[in-house]
């Protein structure tokens, strides 16, 4: 997966990169049937273009090869939920349920990490199931995460500003903001203010 990550990080800095590299990716996908990165990169491109059905197809192709990969489970789950919300599907609820199943598998594969709980909370929030979203957001608020180095390409400087900011891996501020939006919309303005005061002020 590492060479694929490096390749994707480089080509996404180019203008109109997919038009230039799609033929290469499809060629690699045809030659390397047991390689997931071409499908993942194509899935990312389709997600960026809001073509969620195409993205889900590519991610599911990668899932067949690496069903225990946390990133692929996250990508499939997100694509299915976006697909359910973005198009008029007869089986919309089934599509959301399947997307959430992949996100819960991601939660298990990530050993119930803060980020994995956040992804599920955000998905529930996105589909309008705010009670479940709030419950998962509360789980994230109770978790403390240590910072870890962000992976860099070989030519990039090992130390950057983002590595020096304390708490850049901790999602509690983002969660508190989202939770305050839920409380505010439900009419609990005082509770919304308290969440911001507790987690988003210095």
pLDDT one-digit tens code per residue, 172-195: 999 999 999 999 999 999 999 999
52-78 burial, b at 16+ Cβ within 10 Å, e below that, comes to bebbbbbbbbbbebbeebbbbbbbbbb
State which residues form the domain around 48.
1-102
Ranked by mean pLDDT, which of 35-44, 83-92, 103-112 comes out on top?
103-112
Closest CA to 74 of 125, 171, 82: 82
Instruction: Answer whether 0.85 is exceeded by the pTM.
Output: no
Domain boundary among 49, 72, 102: 102
Domain annotation covers residue 39: yes
Q: Is 121 left (phi over 0), alpha (psi -120 to 50) or beta?
A: alpha
Output the pLDDT for position 77. 98
Domain boundary among 74, 102, 130: 102
Domain annotation covers residue 162: yes
Are 26 and 94 within one domain?
yes
Are 195 and 175 within one domain?
yes
Nearby residues of 47 by Cβ (< 8 Å), 6 or more positions away: 55, 75, 78, 79, 82
Domain annotation covers residue 16: yes
Are 64 and 144 within one domain?
no
pLDDT one-digit tens code per residue, 91-115: 999 999 999 999 999 999 999 999 9
- 135 token code pair: 């419950």
DSSP-based helix, strand, coil % in the chain, nearest 5: 70, 0, 30
- State the alpha helices, DSSP H only, in 49-165: 52-65, 70-86, 92-109, 114-127, 130-141, 161-164
């Amino acid at each position: 997966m590492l060479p694929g990550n490096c390749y994707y990080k480089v080509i996404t800095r180019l203008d109109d990169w997919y038009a230039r590299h799609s033929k290469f990716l499809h060629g690699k996908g045809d030659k390397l049937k047991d390689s997931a990165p071409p499908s993942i990169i194509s899935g990312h491109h389709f997600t960026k273009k809001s073509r969620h059905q195409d993205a889900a197809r590519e991610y599911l192709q990668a899932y067949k090869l690496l069903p225990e990969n946390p990133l692929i489970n996250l990508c499939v789950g997100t694509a299915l939920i976006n697909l359910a919300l973005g198009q008029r599907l007869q089986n919309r609820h089934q599509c959301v349920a399947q997307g959430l199943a992949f996100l819960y598998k991601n939660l298990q594969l990530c050993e119930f990490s803060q980020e994995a709980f956040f992804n599920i909370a955000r998905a529930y929030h996105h589909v309008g199931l705010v009670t479940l979203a709030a419950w998962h957001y509360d789980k994230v608020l109770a978790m403390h995460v240590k910072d870890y180095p962000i992976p860099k390409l070989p030519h990039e400087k090992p130390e950057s500003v983002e590595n020096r900011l304390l708490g850049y891996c901790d999602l509690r501020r983002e969660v508190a903001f989202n939770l305050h939006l839920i409380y505010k919309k439900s009419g609990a303005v005082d509770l919304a203010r308290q969440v911001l005061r507790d987690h988003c002020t210095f």
